[in-house]
Amino acid sequence: MSEKHQPIYTIEDISSLNLEKFTFVDVRPHTHLLHFDSMPNAIKLDFEYIHEELKKEKWQKRKEDALVVYSTGEIGDHRAEKAVAILAHNGFSKVGLFDGGILAWHGISSEKVIVRQLFDRSSFTYTYILADPVSREALLIDCVEGHVKRDLGELKAMGLKLKYIIETHIHSDHITGSHKIHKTMKTPVKHIIGEKADVAAHARLIRVVDGDKIHFGKHFLTVVETPGHTDGCCCYVLDDRSMVFTGDTLLNRGVGRVDYQGGNATRLYESVQSKLFQTLPEHCVVYPAHDYSGRTWTTIGEQKKFNDRVSTKVSLEEFREHMRSLDLGRPKLMDDAIPT
């Protein structure tokens, strides 16, 4: 089979095939594997060392197998096309290309959204890109001023259209990147924050309350007001309740401080227990605004069992006593971090 005649499969083709008859070959970069599960029956091929890999016995045995190669599906990623050509050149006779990549697969097969978790080392802050894989409409949650170029670059590379910038609350450890994004983008982007957040009104600002829906493509986030860390804290729950973005309300086996911006230990405890633990399924993924221990995410079930500060085994009085005992310094950007 000549290299120029390798079959190209669309997502419609893939969804109609008997997947058990094909072996999918995943050539995505290692960093991308953290964000999206592989396709069924997939094997990893290290694209950086593809020529060395193909000499190994495990690949030589697959020369007659029906292989379908895929990568991220992001604009500018040509790994899959190059891998198909190399495989065909090395005698793999039944190799094809899945044109849509992993983004198309997750968008069609499981209705999953695109999630990208990004990190700011100076403030230990997580920023999230959340997008609908079909419409490409995207949300940017808790962006940091120093990483606006990175965030906009990610959106562009993935072919996404930024619809809303969302804050879980007013941050005191970093300056939001929202104002910088507004100045950078030609089309104004609305800025979403909780109704009770102490921030000055401006033309782009949308204040949200409990139960409001934030739509992007065919998906939406539901606003859950969770006061306690600050008066204006909100969590955002995906429509299928598979994930929640918790800001500082619920961290990886921890919670945010309660000693400034209207913080209140009793309200924080009640927010976590009644609005998160009692309403969300245990498999729901918890994406926090910060982490200081190397963890990226947890689940509601894990938090209920293992969060020493606010698990279901911790009483309100125990929680209040623990929060009173903390000796925390003043947040370093307290006077500068108000969104503009």
| Spatial distance between the Cα atoms of 115 and 134, rounded to a whole number of angstroms | 14
Nearest-CA neighbor of 277 among 314, 323, 232, 240? 314
Tokens of 263: 């913080």
Nearest-CA neighbor of 271 among 329, 217, 229? 229
Amino acid letter at 62? R
- Quick: pLDDT tens for 198-255: 888 888 999 999 999 999 998 999 999 999 999 999 999 999 898 999 999 999 999 9
DSSP H or E run through 241: none
Tokens of 137: 């409409």
Q: Do residues 293 and 308 make contact, with C-beta atoms less than 8 angstroms apart?
A: no
Tokens of 98: 């899945």
DSSP state of 176: B
Q: Do residues 168 and 125 make contact, with C-beta atoms less than 8 angstroms apart?
A: no
- Quick: pLDDT tens for 294-309: 889 999 999 999 999 9
Taken in order 94, 95, 99, 101, the sign of the CA dihedral is: positive
pLDDT band, residue 332 (cuts 50/70/90): low
- Quick: pLDDT tens for 138-195: 999 999 999 999 999 999 988 899 999 999 998 666 688 898 998 888 888 999 999 9
